[in-house]
Amino acid sequence: MTNALTSGLARVRSVLPERGELAAMGRRPRRDLLAGLTVAIVALPLALGFGISSGMGAEAGLATAVVAGALAAVFGGSGLQVSGPTGAMTVVLVPIMHQHGASGVLTVGVLAGLLLIALALGRAGKYMALVPAPVVEGFTIGIACVIGLQQIPAALGVPTPAGDKVTMVALHAAGDFLAQPHWWAVAIAATVAVLMLVGARRRPTFPFSLVAVALATVTAELAGLPVTRIGDLPAGLPAPSLSFLQLSALPSLLTPAIAVAALAALESLLSATVADGMSVNHKHDPDRELFGQGLANLAAPLFGGVPATGAIARTAVNVRSGAHSRLAALAHAGILAVIVFTASGLVARIPLAALAGVLLATSIRMVEAGSVKAMMRSTRGDAVVLVLTAIATLVLDLVQAVILGLIVAGALALRTIARNVRLDAMPIRPDLPGDHTDQEHALLAEHIVAYRLDGPLFFAAAHRFLLELSEVATVSVVILRMSRVTTIDASGALVLGDAIQRLERRGIIVYISGIRDGHHQPLHALGVIARLDNAGRVFATTPEAISAARDQLRRVGVLPASPHHAVPG
């Protein structure tokens, strides 16, 4: 009993904030506060828009951004993550709102928060990293389409037709508009969207969304345009309450709560991973991130907020704005709280069409055409998984789409492995070539390390093998021997590229040898080895790579100059 209690307390302590991370909030406060202000400016129209799109209203979006944003900033596993209402979560909440009403959405948020905390204490965060890249990409495309379709009624200036199938609702809204067109709403939505899209190309860090919404609001007010506004908002957050909770409805809400928790976990950990990739020395803790999101989703409904997740776009803005610690995300929530308490009257006058324009532009920007084209060219299996996941996201619910994508990706991966002659998937380990001289062995052991990748480099194996590679001890050169890689897909190629970047950030020179003919396509399509190839660091054989590495170390003075001697083949 005592051991179980001690183990339980240790798990709880492992997901709580560390003193050093909290102390880091005071090291560069000016930089973090400026980043927080920038993110808050970007987040305001998104919080309003996603709150309205969910059916809960603009005030719910603001409450979520403030309460969930603050708690996730303090307790989450990423020091750079920004949380709040998101488009993906909105897509899940719309049918819940139709079936169970506002109390159902709030109850689902509480249940999802409890599930996320349970996942964190069960240390399930590491398994979320195994979702294949094509599933994530197809999921993102499907969500972007759904968000765009959700904005059609507001962009056309017509009441939202009844129904929870977004495609049918958009078609009915278009029919209502054609029967009695009103062009002011269309003009406002189009102008805001175009200004955001064009502006983002020229100055990605400038908050064009807020500027566009402000211009649309001022124009609508001065010209007295007949467009629908957000409407009255409460001047502050409501007192926390559990009055919405109906115990009799809990069984029917458990399945939606599982879907919301799964989406919150997936999107938050994906966003945290993006933040890691954009920073140099930052690395998130997946279990602590789940715990922080659990607390955020547990608390937000008490103040009338909707379920929240980590927000990729706002997190990216936070990192680009120079955020150094959790203070930036916390400041973003605080600034939005000030707006809630002091400027609710101004916010109430914003045209719904302007927010529709913001979300239309957001949905377009969610899809990175270059990434989609590269993944479609990678392998036929990756293309199939991407397309199926995107279509399923549009016609089914999001969790079903992810499950379908995982099943198809798993089936294709197993089929690929079954077709290989060799089935031995070996972990990465230092494995120096055995056909070189003792002198060269000494040099290699001192300055160069060669890693042989054996077996399939696909979505699950990639993480298992290459996360170890990025933690290699300090050396001057790493040679990746890939002649024994039997399979490589988009996820494996992307993780390989990430490992190479992490090594190079630490000043380690990377060479690659022995890439099989069939593996060049995904590596080149996703841009993983193009830079190394141009720099002359990709070789057909390992002896050639070793010779080039030794020559490079002589040039930089790591090895003493000596007469060139051939490396045996």
Asked if the model's pLDDT at residue 422 lies above 90, the reply is no
Q: How confident is the model at residue 7 (pLDDT cuts 50, 70, 90)?
A: low
Residue 564 binned pLDDT confidence (cut-offs 50, 70, 90): very low
What does the block give as tokens for 333?
Answer: 């929530």
Check residues 568 and 113 and name the one with the higher pLDDT.
113
Question: Given a cut of 90, is residue 63 above it in pLDDT?
Answer: yes
Is the model's pLDDT at 244 over the cut of 60?
Answer: yes
Range in 121-130, 321-330, 544-553 with the lowest mean pLDDT: 121-130
Helical (H) or strand (E) element with 457 = strand 455-457
Q: Which residue has the tokens 């993944």?
A: 375
For the chain, first and last CA: distance in Å? 62
Q: How confident is the model at residue 295 (pLDDT cuts 50, 70, 90)?
A: very high
pLDDT value at residue 427: 35
Q: Which of 114-118, 281-285, 389-393, 448-452 has the highest mean pLDDT?
A: 114-118
pLDDT at 365 over 70: yes
Residue 302 has pLDDT above 50, yes or no: yes
pLDDT at 330 over 90: yes
Phi–psi pair at 456, nearest 5 degrees: -80, 135
Q: What is the pLDDT of residues 133-188, one digit of tens each?
A: 787 788 778 878 887 888 898 899 888 887 667 788 889 999 989 988 889 999 99
- Distance of alpha carbon 199 from alpha carbon 260, whole angstroms: 33
Residues 273-283 have a mean pLDDT of 73
Q: Highest mean pLDDT range out of 161-175, 217-231, 272-286, 416-430?
A: 217-231
Residue 433 has pLDDT above 50, yes or no: no
Maximum separation of any 2 CA atoms in the chain, in Å: 86
Q: What is the mean pLDDT of the chain?
A: 80
The pLDDT of residue 70 is 95
Q: How much is the average pLDDT of 310-319? A: 81
CB 543 within 8 A of CB 514: no
Which residues does 174 contact at the CB level (< 8 Å), separation at least 6?
Answer: 152, 156
What pLDDT does 502 receive?
81
Helix (H/G/I), strand (E/B), else coil: 161: coil
Helix (H, G, I), strand (E, B) or coil at 157: coil
| Percent of the chain with pLDDT strictly greater than 70 | 84
Cα–Cα distance measured from residue 488 to residue 528, given in angstroms and rounded to the nearest whole number: 12
The pLDDT value given to residue 474: 66
What mean pLDDT comes out for the span 543-564?
74
Q: Which helix (H) or strand (E) holds 522?
A: helix 520-525
pLDDT at 434: 44
Contact 490, 457 (CB under 8 A): no
| The amino acid at 429 | R
pLDDT band at 190 (very low <50, low <70, confident <90, very high): very high
pLDDT of amino acid 569: 36
Task: Please tell me whether the overall predicted TM-score, pTM, comes out greater than 0.85 for this model.
Answer: no
Q: What is the mean pLDDT of residues 120-140?
A: 78
What's residue 558's pLDDT? 64
CA–CA separation, 425 and 534 (whole Å): 30
- pLDDT of 465 reads 59
Are the beta carbons of 326 and 69 closer than 8 angstroms? Answer: no
- For residue 292, what pLDDT is reported? 93
Q: Indicate if the pLDDT at residue 108 is higher than 90.
A: yes
Sheet strands (E) in 53-146? 83-84
pLDDT of residue 110: 95
**Strand partners of residue 488:** 457
